[in-house]
Amino acid sequence: MDRRLFLRNGGLTGLALSTLSLSACSTEAKQDENSEASPTDTPDAFELNEVTIGELQNKMSSGQLTARAITELYLKRIEAIDQKGPRLQAVIEVNPDALALADALDKERKAGKVRGPLHGIPVLIKDNIDSGDKMQTTAGALALAGHKAAQDAFIVKKLREAGAVLLGKTNLSEWANFRSTRSTSGWSSRGGQTKNAYILDRTPSGSSSGSGVAVSANLCAVAIGTETDGSVVSPASCSGIVGIKPTVGLLSRTGIIPISATQDTAGPMARTVRDAAILLGALAGVDPADAVTQESAGKAQPDYTRFLDDNGLKGKRIGVEKGHLKGESDAVPLFQQAVALLKAQGATIVEVDVEKQTDSLGEAEYNVLLYEFKDGVNKYLAGANAPVKTLQDVIAFNARNKAKAMPFFQQEILEASQKLDDLASPKYQAFLRKSHNGARQALDGVLSQNKLDAIVAITNSPSPCIDLVNGDTWKGPGFSSPAAMAGYPHITVPMGLAHGLPVGLSFVGPAYAEASLLTLAYAYEQASKQRTAPTFRAPLVG
């Protein structure tokens, strides 16, 4: 069960209503009233289009560009197509200190100090991740507007230590899409609606909507999202990029507005597997304030790029989710082609059925998240500088400010969470055992019994329409939940386009198998070359 299904079917400041279709997709293509340029089917000529981290490093080391020049180019890009033009609304806030950070890193480079592959590289982070600077951390919620964290999240400290330029924060599905059963992915009361960069009235998915769109539309070099169930891999799939949901425990969650202590993790989002691997290595590390990261000691790799191999599929045994090999979804033919390519690259293909064992765990997972959300949010707000101090305060704020905070969908999930007991509840413990242990047993069993290196599946189907009246209405396969419930790693790589909309191929493995999954994902990426830059197309017309 995909997270988007349990939210929907069992993943107003700044909002211009005239720019959106309020129920289903537009029936005619017309220019956004607030746009300053028409959507186009022709790739634009942005100087840094599709540039990689390695290419940016070469430009800086040769003196062709500086970190400041690169940062300026991305800031202009954000202004041109995120705030104007097609108005993607992927970036909720730019960092007023970005150029100063770039200048300082240029001085270090000039003095002979280069911290590593991220030195001088502009990175965007999701707006539920603390930064101890002038930017806000709000999870897209008006209830948290004005909140500025006292210090960096642990992974943001790691980013700064690696020499990255913190470019800004990205919009998201409000409260990481854990507010309503009828929510619309990519919409927040603070940031408005993020658009899919491929076809503008299609959903970017969520909850890391802005991070996915920003990377795909070349608003940054790489970005960071967060996932509980599908919130990195689904928007990555819909934005035609690489997304990594690491093993829970590989990356610290300290300083990240939570949903679930057992499923939450941050994760890299990039246009290439190599760039995602670079970012993953920079973020990984044991955090004394996040006990689960102790499990990663000796397992995290400082450099995941050393596992990238063009021939990495040769001799591997790959489990293929057999239910995804048939059906009416336009993603199915792409999956069939991907499986044929895996085989052609030397992999042995074994059909498996993981979903048969995990689909029944969805209700238990949802209840786990309800219990853990209340506990986690109350702890986060108690130590924050936010105007609200508890989940009950958030609910009350939204009720008082309904016209702006809840103009479309409500807050049933927040209210349901608030009514529950604490984590000592026997009901919570039973739900956790069922979802977490059940998913691990299913994945471990399939992997070991078939002697598999990984399981592959369709990440999700092509993006449906943005629908603020009815909420998300996904159809077709998706594969985020098994790895999410188990806390296991999941990587998605572009698999192709269906009607101009991207679809991703998922690679899932056991705990701390990021290195081996990256080997497989990179080999597939290099053999398939399915990444296609978006062209900001107007709505499809019959």
In terms of Cα–Cα distance, which of 500, 507, 498, 490 is closest to 461?
498
- Going by the DSSP 8-state scheme, the letter that residue 81 receives in this structure is I
The residues that are catalytic are: 126, 207, 231
Cα–Cα distance measured from residue 4 to residue 238, given in angstroms and rounded to the nearest whole number: 13
| pLDDT, position 539 | 87
Contact 194, 200 (CB under 8 A): no
* Angle between the N-to-C axes of helices 391-400 and 362-382, in degrees from 0 to 180, rounded to the nearest 10: 90
Nearest 5°: phi and psi at 331?
A: -80, -20
Superfamily of structural domain 48-528: Amidase signature (AS) domain (3.90.1300.10)
Say how far apart CA 486 and CA 488 lie, in whole Å.
5
d(CA 10, CA 313) in angstroms, rounded, equals: 36
Q: How many CB atoms lie within 10 A of CB 349?
A: 15
Q: Are strands 187-188 and 122-126 parallel, antiparallel or unpaired?
A: unpaired
Residues of the chain whose pLDDT is less than 50?
1-24, 27-37
- Tell the residue number behind the tokens 């701390």, with chain if given: 512
pLDDT digits (tens, 9 = 90+) for 2-44: 344 444 433 322 222 223 333 446 533 333 434 444 556 666 8
Sheet with 317-321, strands from edge to edge, namely: 91-94, 165-170, 122-126, 222-227, 265-270, 242-245, 490-498, 501-508, 454-458, 317-321, 348-352
The H or E element that residue 188 is part of is: strand 187-188
Q: For residue 540, what pLDDT is reported?
A: 77
d(CA 130, CA 282): 17
Of 221, 242, 224, which Cα lies nearest the Cα of 233?
242
